[in-house]
Every structure is written in C-alpha cells, then in structure tokens.
Amino acid sequence: MPPPSAWRRSPRRKPPSPRSGVRHERAPPPKRTSRQRQEGHSVNRPDAWVADGRFLVEDTPLPGLQRIRRKPLADARGSLERLYCASLFAACGIDTPIAQINRTCTRAAGTVRGLHFQHPPHAEVKFVQCLRGEVFDVAVDLRAGSPTFLHWHAERLSQDNATGLLIPEGFAHGLQTLADDTELLYLHTAPYTPQAEGGLDALDPRLAIDWPLPVGERSERDRSLPRLRPDFTGLIP
C-alpha cells in the first residue's frame, strides 16, 4: 500500500473542524477499555488507511463514531473519489450490507434536519457524506449504558474536505446546512421503517447542541419531535 504522501490531493481540500459536546458542557475524550475499543470497531487500528489506501478511518471522542476521510485521485482531467467500499465497512467491523442509499438536497443555509434514529430491531449504521455545499453534521449517543450517553459530536462535512461520518447503531443524527444548495449522500444498513422511526428535538436544551448558524427552516415533523424525557435511559439493542 503506498504511503498517504503518494496520493495527489485536490488543492481545494481543507481539513474539517470537529466539535463535540455533552449536555451543557464540553465532553473530554473518554478513556476507553479494550471492550470499548472493540465496540467502537477500533481494535488493532486506531487510525488506519484501508481499502487500498482510499480511506482514512479516524476515531472521534465517542466510541464507535468514526470520521472517514476519502483520498481523491486527481490529474489534469479532474478527480475521482471512491464513496463506498465493502472493505471499508469490514475494516470498521461492520458486517451488515448496505440496504438503502438516499440523497438529500437542501436549499437554504441554516436549515436544520433531525434528530432522527430508528428503534431496534431496525437500528441502522449510517454513513453520511457531503456531495455539494457544507454541513454541520451531528451524532448523539443514545446507547443505554454507554460511557458517553447523551454526548454529541459534530463534524463539518463539505464538497471540499472529502470527509464523511460513520454513525453506528444507537445514535441519533441531525445536521445544519452551512451553505445554500447542499447535497448529502446517505448509506444505510437498514431500510427506512416508518413504524420504527424515532426522533428528538434538535433544540432540546438538555442536549445543548451548539448550532453554528441561527436556526432556519425545519420541517413540521422535526419541529414536533419530543424532547428527552427525564426517565430516558437509552436505546436497548
């Protein structure tokens, strides 16, 4: 496998600025046991080039939530990027095939979508990438018993930084667009199941997500999503 320096980068690529939070305070990276590393699909890796050097897999402060950086190939004609590879998921410990691929187009910057998830047994792994524009992409840990329960982490995904977020089962997902006409690509390991859909209010003060722009458009469905109940103890697989 060639070293990372052997690849030609598109000159416009810039590293994203990750952000993490927990309720009303910032969350330090948790200390991780061997079991947590395995649950986070980080055994023998922690950060590694996989799939013939086309993806860099990086851990985030939340066990199991991973940042995926693509390696574009560029020449005088333009560039080529691999958006998915079965060996990428295998390297991350995911043995469930892709069941559905969706694309969203959002007209206005400031729009907020989410927070969405599916209840077990229809829980899904979700791989989110930005094809156009820029987005503040958020994942919230809802796993019962998790050391980072109700912590959130955000990544700026854009058409320029070639970065995606691999979100495991047991997380809620939401986003805010940072540019007009933003397009996202979603890969899901489970199909959309209406009777299993769940969600939380993206403006819940208990989560205290630090949205970078004033909140703009939200769907009627998202505005009606509930806030966390005081007795909520997490999603049980």
Q: Which residues are catalytically annotated?
A: 116, 186
| Nearest one of 132, 169, 171, 131 to 154, comparing CA atoms | 171
Residue 114 makes CB contacts below 8 A (sequence gap 6+) with: 138, 172, 173, 174, 175, 199, 200, 202, 222
Alpha carbon 84 to its chain's center: 14
DSSP type of residue 90? H
Max alpha carbon distance in the chain (Å)?
58
The two structure tokens encoding residue 147: 């050391």
